[in-house]
Amino acid sequence: MTLKHVFSGLLMLAALTACATHNAVAPKASAPKAKAATQALNLSTSEVKQGYIEHASLAQLYRWYQYYENNDASIDNQLDILDQDIYVKSGLGEGTGHAVYLERVKNIPTTWKNAHDVKQTNVSINDDGSINMSVDITYLNQGILPDGNVRSADLHYTTTLRPSKNVLPVFTKIVIEQKGDGVAPAFVPIYGENRIKSLVHYWLALIEDPARNVEPFAEILADGFELNFSSGPITDMAGFEQWFRGPASSVAASTHKISQFSQSQNADGSYTVSMDFDWQGILPNDQQMVAKTRHQWVVVDNPSERFARIKQVNVELLQPFSPKPK
């Protein structure tokens, strides 16, 4: 493949990379976005090549919270993210295995409202393929305290995941430590944000995965989906596969960082999502490239499924593909 063909593919790739407690509650709308930063990514080669593993790990993290935040979420999907011998330690106690976990969570009152606001994450990938992820969140609960008061707690997670037969790793250890406790002025639900972030990270993991497996995308693209890329709209899996195995494979490796994320729920239950993707890729000749795109998505959600689904994507190129600054 000549560099001319590679850059032609990158222009078409812009179309896509530009795109790139258990209670049902009203949705939280994310805060309005600030003006997008213009500084390009400056990742190492290993960070680019391992970016899909980080996205896959974060997809599983955001899935973890959904069972506690929506009564319609499936316990089977919760177990799907956990190794059979999962070790969990929290304020509820500690134990190993699916059976112990199930026994514990079945006692959580369904009348509780829970929200988990992720503040900070750190993902590191070990030589054996296992993943260490630490997470800081603010947890809100309405139901524990009397008189409708809302409990607020700062929690720190120390977790380990192992690779699985697909791109998504599974948790082998989750240790939750409380760092602070108080009362919040109001309960703010966050199910919609966590649900959509799990979808976005999974989408990026699949886009970046060097295995180039198109089949998993069928799970996260809604019936009648429309991906409006600069090369033209894609409205079926055959067209998506043609794009994925063509222009999307023009780089040897790539990754994305998400910024300016916001979401709101529409009257019909769907979500409108806006976010910026900072992209860094490596061409077949080892040239490092950067770009920035803005994505506007429409997402539909069935909480009983593993992931929400993409109904529509519109992409705007904010910064064109160019060599990474030295």
- Residue 285's closest CA among 253, 262, 317, 263? 253
Quote the pLDDT of residue 29.
55
Query: DSSP secondary-structure letter at 97?
Result: S
CATH of 3-323, one of 3.40.50.300, 3.90.1150.10, 3.30.70.270, 3.10.450.50: 3.10.450.50
pTM score, two decimals?
A: 0.90
Quote the pLDDT of residue 117.
98
- How high does pLDDT run on average in the chain? 89
Please give the residue that has the higher pLDDT: either 18 or 234.
234
Q: CA-CA distance, 162 to 155, in Å (whole number)?
A: 23
Q: Grade residue 292 by pLDDT with cuts at 50, 70 and 90.
A: very high
pLDDT at 136 over 80: yes
pLDDT digits (tens, 9 = 90+) for 26-75: 444 554 444 444 577 899 999 999 999 999 999 999 999 999 999 999 99
Q: Grade residue 245 by pLDDT with cuts at 50, 70 and 90.
A: confident
Find the helix or strand (DSSP H, E) in which 208 lies.
Answer: helix 191-208
Find the helix or strand (DSSP H, E) in which 277 lies.
Answer: strand 271-282
Quote the pLDDT of residue 2.
42
pLDDT at 131 over 50: yes
* Alpha helices (H) along 147-213: 191-208
Q: What residues are paired with 196 via a beta bridge?
A: none
Residue pair 292/303 in contact (Cβ under 8 Å)? The answer is no
Quote the pLDDT of residue 139.
98
Least confident span in 40-44, 177-181, 234-238: 40-44
Quote the pLDDT of residue 11.
41
Find the helix or strand (DSSP H, E) in which 192 lies.
Answer: helix 191-208
Among residues of the chain, what percentage have pLDDT more than 70?
A: 87
How many residues does this entry show for the chain? 326
Distance of CA 226 to the CA centre of its chain: 20
